[in-house]
Every structure is written in C-alpha cells, then in structure tokens.
Structure 1
Amino acid sequence: MSLILAAISLAGHIALLLWGTHMVQTGVQRAFGPSLRSFLNRALSNRIKAFFAGLGVTAILQSSTATGLMASGFAASGLVRLVPALAVMLGANVGTTLIVQVLSFDVAAASPALILVGVIMFRRANNPQVHDLGRVFIGLGFMLLALHQLLDALTAYSATHAFEVALAAIASAPMISLLLAAALTWAAHSSVAVVLLIMTLSAKGLVDPYQAFALGLGANLGTAINPVIEGQSGSDLSAKRLPIGNLLTRIIGITIVFAGLPQIASWMTAIDGDGARVVANFHTAFNLVVAIVVMPFLTPLSNLLVRLLPERLDEGDPGQPRYLDPSAKETPVVALQAAAREVLRLVDTFGEMLQGTKEALNSTDRRALSVLRQKDNILDRLNLAIKQYLTSIDPDELSEGDRRRLNEILLFSTGLEHAGDVLDQNVLPHLAKRLRRGIKFSREDEGELGQLLARLSTNLRTAAALFMSQDERVARLLTDEKIVFRRAEREGTDQHFKRMREGDLNAAETSSLHLDLLRDFKQINSHLIAATAYPILEQYGELMQSRMKPAPVGARNAGEN
C-alpha cells in the first residue's frame, strides 16, 4: 500500500510540474504569440539573425516545439528558405535551456509570491495581456512548488526497495534510460519539465552524472520528435524538411556525445559538483556545441533534405494553387487568366468563412472557430502563391493592358486577404470572447448580424463578378453598399448608448460586442469595395477625392483673403 501511495505522490508532483510548464507556455503564447510570430518571420533573412531570433523566441515561449512548428509553417509555405529556418531550430534548442539554468538555483521560496501575483493579475485585470501574464506567473509558481515537493518526496522514498530497483535499472542500461527519457519528453511535450525532473534526481544524489546525462540526451531527442509528428501532414514531404533536419542534427549530436559520455561526465563534474547545476550546464552545453558545429554545414544539410524530401503537390490540399502553371508565364495573357482563375478560389474560400461566421454567431462549438482560422491560412497561402507567380512574370513581356490587369489581380487578391485577416484577427476573437463569457445575442441582434453577413456574401459575389467584367455600373452598385454598413454602425452605436443609459449592464455588454462586430463587418465590406470598385470608378473619373461637399464660393474667397 505504501508503494502505491508513494507512486501516486510522485506522479502528482510530476503532474504539477508539467501543468505549471504548460501554463507558462500557453500564457506567453496567448500574450505575445502573434507578435513573436511576426518577429520570427522578419528575422529569417540570414542564419545568424535566425539563430538568435529562435533563441529569443524560445526563451520567452519556453517551448522549442512551438518555435519549431512556427518555423516549419514558414518553411513549408515558402515564406523563408530552409537554411535560416534550420538556424532558427538551432537557436530554439539553446533557448529552451535558459529557464533550466534559472531554476537550477534554489528559488523555491519565490513560489508563493509568484502564485499570489499571478492570481491577482489573472482575476482582476481587464487587460487580456495582463490576464495571460498572470497565467505565466501562476505556472512559474507551480513549477517551483512542484520541484520543492519533488525533492521532499524523493528524500522520503529514496531508501525504499522499489525505488532502489528502479534506479539500478536506469544505471545498468543507459541506452534504455535515454529512450525512456525521450518517450517521456515526447509524451509530456516539454523537455524543460523532464530536464527539471532529472535535475531533481541528480540533486538528491539518486542518479550519478553519467546516468543524468544519458537521461538528458533522451530529453533532447524527445523534444525533436514532436515537430516531426505534429507538423503539417499530407503527401507533400517537403513540409517535413525542417523538423526532420532538426531531428537529424540531434541524433548525430546525441550519438557522438553518448559515445564519450563517461569522459564528459568527469569533465563536467570537475567544473561544478552541484547535482542540479551540472545537469543544467550539460543540457546547455550540448545544445550550444551542436549549434556551433552544425551552423557552417546548414547549406549542404538543406540540399540533402531537398533531395530526400522532394516537393509533391497534394491535390486534396485546398491551400495549394491549382491553376498557376509555371510554363504559362512565357505567354503573359494566359498566365494572367490562370491567376484570375486562382483568385476565384480565394472568393470561394472567403465565402465559406462568411457562412461559417454566420453559423458561429450563437453557436457553442469552439471547434468551428478553429476551422475558420484554418480557412484564413488557406487564404494566406493562396494569396502568397498568386503574388509570387505574378511578380515572377517578366515585366518586359507585358503590354500596358497586361500590366493594368496584373495590378487588378494583385489588388483584389490582397483585398481578399486583408478581409480575411479582419475576420481572423477581429471577428473570431470577439466570438471567442462571447463563448468565454457565456454571452448570447438576442434574437434581434443575431438577426441583424446575420443579415449583414448575408449582405457581405452577396457583395463578395458582386465583387467577383466586377473583377471579371470591370463594368462601371456594377462598380457603382457595389460602392453604394457602403451606405448600408455605415447606417448599421450608426444605429448600433445609438442602441448601445441607450442600453447603457437604461442601466442594463448585461445588454450593454452584448451591444458592445455587437457594435464591435458591426465595425468589423463594415471594414470587411470596405476592403471588398476598395479592391474592386474604386479602381474602376477612378479609371472613369467617377471617384471623388473627398466625401465633403465643396465649400461655398463666398466662403472660399473669404478664406483666401
């Protein structure tokens, strides 16, 4: 019975450590995820900048897996070359060791203060970013608390026969220990938590440095497996180049280090004999040395991965272009027609997003929002492919009419992407907030929002027809739709202030969310009009530079005098 209680106690402490690590990672991703993703994308111009970007982002996120998945997405979509993406992963591997270095010192006394500050921030702050940072502080407090409790529990149970048998098994088979740690890291999705657990065992003298280092190598192997398994799926193996390349560098490094592990263990312990510190130092040194050694060979590694994992078009992937024939670029008029046909796929995808948004207005299905975000990714990938295709056409081969049509295609494609971004970055977070707060729109509000979404769908079809026909009359009809959305926003604002004056706080919160959605719908409609109707009206001299009426002649003369 005591053995069962001991196992439950240890498992509970380890679970608390894993949960704290998870809270830190998710809190940082929610608070800074989009900006970190943008920063990482901008930094991928060369391998040195990419290395330090990967290190910095992972030091903040505390998840090399998350950084790896972001970098894999960039590489798979063609946004960056494979060499800087591989450098990002080398930096990410070093970055994830930094918090291990911090927690290798005795900072357990800070646990209650971190949890207290985190709870205050989590419960009292109206700012979503502060709320998410509160989650980070709570997670850090849990991690420190779990480590302290693990030390106490291991001290209490270290003399038991079962524990001695388990440790003897680890000591007798270092390769099995390595694979066990790799499996645990893969299952936990956190090399940080597993390395902290190894540090705890080493600090209590329950495993010697040689055994601890073998377990640490397993943790490094396990964390490289996650992006391979969880990255983009499909028949196109080129999407796996980055995670497989990172896994290969880990395997090579682990193989070399494992062969010389006894000598390395004696060197490391001579530098620092503290059990926890020596594990943290080995973990950091391993990843840093691998990065330094591999960095000069990223180009041949990249070429090898391209040969082994060739690009294959997945016909079932909606994000893959279907009509952008590279051979057609020699005949620009054919290439432009192919690009225009591809843009209509953007129209279909965005139409599905609008329909899905309408269905999600009062739905309780969170998965529906995830599906809509995936469709926005499809928009981004198709728009990128269209822009790359059109800008690769030799401009000297284009006539004046061809250049004008090329600009029209680019403008409409970009306008659809911007409209999709408004839906993804503004509308969907509002709907997610509604779900979190348990808000439900009234039948009247839902009906109005549904009608505007239906009108947006109609305007989208009109914009597509205008894109193909370039008819001035259709451009005028589409431009007049701005009046409808402007009126809806004005009436929604009046209704919101009326509810606030009446003191109905619940209705006021609903109307505030309703008003935010009205503004977003108006912005989406403006993108559609600006991308199709305005260029045509401007071409015919029918577009005014300002909506203001001209000042009376007398007033103008008085101003001049």
Structure 2
Amino acid sequence: MNSIAVILQLAGAVALLLFGLGLVRDGMLEAFGLRLKMILGFGTRSQPRAFGSGLLATLGLQSSTATALLTASFVDRQMIGGRMAQIVLLGANVGTALTAVLVSIQIEAVAPALMLLGYVLRKRGNVLAAGIGGALIGVGLMLVSLALLEHATLPMRDSPLLAAFLPMLDNAWPVALLMAAGIAVVCSSSLAAVLLIASIPLPPELTMVLVLGANLGGAVSPVLASAGLGAVARRVAVGNLLVRGIGCLVALPLVATLAPLLAGLPTHLTGLAVEGHLAFNLALAALIWPLNGAIGAVVERILPDDPPVTTARRNWLDDTVLDAPLLALSGASREVLAIGDKVERMLSQTRTAFARDDTSPLAEVAEIEDQIDTRQQEVKNYLSRLTGDASEDDRRRAIDILDYVINLEHIGDIIDKGLGPEVRKKIGLGLRFSDEGYQELERLFLVTQEALRMAQTVFMTRDHDMARRLMELKIEIRKLERQSAQRHLIRLREGQTESRETSSLHLDILRDLKRINAHAVSVAHPILDEQGLLVESRLRAAPRAAHKE
C-alpha cells in the first residue's frame, strides 16, 4: 500500500507539472502568440538570430516541442529554410534547458503570489492580461508540483526496493537511457522528464544517463506530431532527433568522466540533472552548429522530396442538394474554404518571390487568380439557386458565405494586380530596401499570412473568441503599418539612399498588405455583430456645445 501511495503521489505531481506547463504555453500563445510567431517567422535571416529566436520562443512557450512544431509549419509554408530551421531548434533545446534552470530554483514560496496575481489578471478580461495571468498560474502550479515531487520521493530515499533496483539500472546504461526517453515521450516534454529525474536521489552517472535519455525522448514527440506534414517540414523534426541522437552517442561513453566533474562544481542551485541538461544542450549546439550543412544533407537523403501529386479538383457545389439548404450551404462553405487556401498560396508565393528576388513563383500566382475568379463566380451562381424553403438563418448564412468569397476574390486581385507587379518592379530594377525597411515588410507579410489563416478558421468554426482575436489582430496590423510608414519617412529625412530609391514601392506594399488584412478580417464582422460587439460607426460622439448665457 505504501508503494501504491508513493506511485500515486508521483503521478499526481507529474500530472500537475504537465498541466502547469500547458497553462504557461496556452497563456503565452494567447498573450503573445503573434509576436512569438513573428520572432520565428522573420528572425532567421542569419544563424545567430535564428538560434536566438528559437531560444526566446521556447522561453515563452516553455516547450521545445511547441517551438519545433511551429518551426516545422513555417518550413512547410516556405517561410523558413529547412537548414536555418535546424539552427532554430538548437536554440530551442538550449531554451528548454534554461527553462528547467529557472523553474528549479528553490522559490516555491512565491507560488501562491504568482497564482493570486494570475487570477486577478485573468479576471480583467483583456486578452493580453488574461494570457499573462494564465501563464503566471501555470508557473505557480509548476513550482507547487516540484515541491510535491520532492515530498513524494522522500520515502524512496530509504526504500530497499530502490536500493536494489538502482545498481541493476546503473549497470545497464542503454536500458536506463531508453527508459528515460520513454518517459519523455509519454510526457511529450523533455523538461518534465528532467525535472522528474532531478527529484529522485540517484548516483551522478545514472542521473546523467537518464538526462541524455530525456533529451532523446523529447525529440521524438515532434517527429510524431509532424507526421502529417510534407517531407520538407518533417525534416525539421527528424533532423532534431538525429542531432540529439548523435549527441547521446557521443556523450554516453563520456558520462563516467563528466558526471563527477559536474557533480563536483562548487555552486549547485538546481541539482545535477538540471545543470547537466543545460551543459549537454550548450555543448550540443556548439558541436552541431558548424556541421549543420552536413546534417541537413543527411536528413534530405533520409527524407527525399515528396513526389508531385496531381489530383483532380474536388467540386463541393452539388446541384442535387439545392433543395436541402443545410447540405447546399455546407458544400458552398467547403468550396469557399478551398478558395481561401488558394488565396493563401498566392500570398505565400508572392512573399517567396519578394524574399528570394525570383519572379518564377509569380507565374503560379497569376494561374491561381484565374482559378479563383472562376470558382467565386460558381459559388455566387450556386447560392443564388437555393430554394425558397431556406430559413432566415440559412439565408443569413448564405449572405455571409457570399460576402467572404467576394472578399477573397478582392484579396486575389490585390495580390495579382498590386503586390505582384510591385515585387516584379523590385526584382526587375534590382532595388534593395534598407535592412529596417525590409524587416518591417517581412513582418507585415507574416502577420498578413497569419490573418488569412485565422480568417479561414473563423469562417469554418464561427468561434466568437477567435473572431474577437482576429479583430484585435487588425488593430495590431494597423499599428505596424502606421509605424512602418512613419519610420520610412524618418529614414527619408535622414537621407538613406536605399529608402529614397524604394520609397514609393515601400508605401505601396504597405498599403496593399493593409487592404488584404481589411478584407480578411471582415469575416469576423457578422459573427461579432450577432453578439452586439460591433458599433455602426467608429466616430466618437461629438462633444456638446457649451450653453451660452
């Protein structure tokens, strides 16, 4: 019974730790999700910046797995190069090790204060405050879980079963390594596995072997989670697993030498497991960084490019269900979602042409635009033929679908007839933006892609919270556009040659991206209007004139 009680206490403490990690991740995404994505999306122009962006994103998300999946999705959308993504993940691995250090420092006493502050912020209703509040509650729960882990492992220190088991495990390091890897896979977190290892009294060598296993297992979860992505994106997770595997193979024979050295350090704020975790990832980053190109080549051999797939277009507009409005509207919605995916592809290819100074992706943009014009006309004709049996809700939904597809067609026109010629002009004339100007436009391209993806989700789910976030994103985009225009004018006044040569082009691209965002965000209007959250005019009420005697 005592053994069962200890196991239950350990399981409960680990569950609380994972729950706290999830709260921190969700809270940071809610509060700073766009900024974290921007850090990853445009923070990869050089290897040091890519490393730093991975580290910062992981410190925010408290999960290298989450960073790996975000990075893989960006690679899948051609927003980050595959080999640069490996540098991002080296930073992410160091970031999760630093997170372990931060949460392992003995500061359990502040946990109640963090949770109280988090609760107060959650009640404020503001998205930013609510996200930060959720993250603070998560950190507080993580600190509490560490105290529970320490308490749960106290009986194990004098356990005869553990005393008999440890020598067996200490003599079978490969088994110990695989066992720790399995724990990390089950927890979907190398951080949780390392903190669990740190709470158990173990010999130094065995501790380090288990830490290596936790690192290996932490790289397995992104491989499993990215299985549905294309080969280019899967290479990111597989490359990270290969890197950690190489690190474990190199480090395992050295454990007997290195573990006593680490254990003998004069300062121990967090324990050998946490400090060994940090030392391993720092050493791994230093070892692999110069070999990144060779690692990338190996991964490309392991996962060659996907063969081109030519599939016939699926037409969701079924004339046989026009007398069943619910089925007809469902088909129209799926057709419009497919059109939205095409529009996002247009923007992605335009951004690729802009970033690479290559006009070839723009040929596909023109082809897609022709397809969108045809398909949106088919949707309009289809909706006009709905039977008179449609209810008021059905007619309202049909209008919403029609509005969204018209906005998508406008976005396609802006990309094809606005952004496309502007990018061609940049490439054809060999124009170069200033570093600051280029980063500002890259940032706005990234935010615009995110707005399109959110618009698709809002259209599909009609989720009120997501619609509200989309409207808040519009405000963020307006600020970015205004700030970029102001900074561009400052650079002009300072006489920067590059800014002067690209002045009209910079402002035209800003204008078109702003227009695209306005059309994308419009999908949220009817949803928020149903909740009474929109006003007819943005004009403030005029102050009343003072009464004259």
Same fold? TM cut 0.5: yes
Native 8 Å contact 1:272 1:278 kept in 2: no
Equivalent-residue separation in structure 1 for 2:363 and 2:103 (angstroms): 61
Q: Deviation per CA, 1:31-76, whole angstroms, max 9, x where unpaired? A: 1112210121111112111011111111111111111111111212
RMSD of aligned alpha carbons: 4.6
Pair 1:117–1:249, CA change in 2 (3 A) = same
State which of 187, 202, 207 in structure 1 corresponds to 2:202. 207
- Structure 2 equivalent of residue 174 of structure 1: 173
Q: Quickly say closer, same or farther: Cα 1:517–1:164, change in 2 above 3 A.
A: farther
> Are the structure 2 counterparts of residues 422 and 282 from structure 1 closer, same or farther at C-alpha, using a change threshold of 3 Å?
closer
Aligned partner of 2:432 in structure 1 is none
* Separation in 1, partners of 2:375, 2:451: 11
- Could you list the per-position Cα deviations for residues 322-377 of structure 1 after superposition, in whole angstroms to 9, with x for gaps in the alignment? 9x9xxxx99999978734445458859999xx9xxx99x99xxxxxxxxx9xxx9x
Q: Which residue of the partner structure matches residue 227 of structure 1?
A: 222
Give the Å deviation of 1:518: 8.6
Name stretches of at least 5 consecutive residues in structure 2 with no aligned partner.
314-337, 350-357, 384-389, 395-403, 429-445, 469-521, 539-549
Matched residue, 1:291: 285
Q: Which residue of 2 aligns with 1:113?
A: 113
1:431 aligns to 2:463 (yes or no): yes
Q: Are residues 247 and 426 of structure 1, via their aligned partners in 2, closer, same or farther at CA, if it must alter by over 3 Å?
A: same
Letter of the structure 2 residue corresponding to residue 300 of structure 1:
A
Tell me which moved more, 308-317 or 75-84: 308-317
Q: Does 1:302 align with 2:296?
A: yes
1:138 partnered with 2:137 = yes
Residue deviations 1:1-54, cap 9 Å, x none?
222222212211221122112211221122111221012111111211101111
Aligned to 1:240: 234
1:424 Cα deviation from its structure 2 partner: 4.6
Counterpart amino acid of 1:77?
R
In percent, how many aligned pairs have the same letter?
27
Asked whether the 8 Å contact 2:6–2:153 carries over to 1, the reply is no
Q: Distance in 1 between matches of 2:360 and 2:460?
A: 41
Aligned residue identity for 1:59: L
Correspondence list, 1:327-406, <5 A: 338-344=367-373, 347=376
SS in 2 for 1:516: coil
3-state SS, counterpart of residue 218 of structure 1: helix
- Deviation readout 1:356-408 (Å, 9 max, x if unpaired): xx99x99xxxxxxxxx9xxx9xx99xx89x98999689998xxxxxxxxxxxx
Kept in 1, the 8 Å contact 2:467–2:528? The answer is no
The one-letter amino acid of 1:185's match is A
**Cα distance between partner residues in 2 of 1:44 and 1:332:** 21
For 2:534, give the aligned amino acid: D
Following TM superposition, by how much is the alpha carbon of 1:299 offset from its aligned partner in structure 2, in angstroms? Answer: 2.0
Q: Structure 2 CA distance, aligned partners of 1:333 and 1:511?
A: 37
Q: Does the aligned pair in 2 maintain the 1:430–1:517 contact within 8 Å? A: no
Count of equivalent residues? 400
Whole-Å Cα distance in 2 between the matches of residues 308 and 243 of structure 1?
12
Paired residues of 2:67 and 2:92 also in contact (CA < 8 A): yes
The answer on 1:185 being equivalent to 2:180 is: no
Asked whether the 8 Å contact 1:332–1:393 carries over to 2, the reply is no
3-state DSSP of counterpart to 2:219: helix
Deviation string, structure 1 residues 156-194 (Cα, Å, up to 9, x no partner) = 343233343443443232221211111111121221111
Contact 2:75 2:232 in 1 (8 A): no
Distance between the aligned counterparts of 2:359 and 2:64, measured in 1?
Answer: 43
Partners of 1:53 and 1:516 in 2: CA distance: 37
Q: Which residue of 1 aligns with 2:397?
A: none
What is the match of residue 26 of structure 2?
Answer: 26
* Match status 1:39 vs 2:39: yes
Give 1:221 shift.
0.8
Uncovered stretches (5+) of structure 1, i.e. residues with no partner: 363-371, 397-413, 437-485, 493-508, 521-561
Shift of 1:301: 2.4
Residue 284 of structure 1 deviates from its aligned partner by: 0.9
C-alpha contact 2:180 2:214 (8 A) present in aligned 1: yes
Shift of 1:237: 2.3
Residue type of the alignment partner of 1:161: P
Deviation at 1:266, TM superposition (A): 1.7
Change (3 A) 1:13 1:343: same
Counterparts of 1:422-501 in structure 2, within 5 Å, are 423-424=455-456, 431-433=463-465
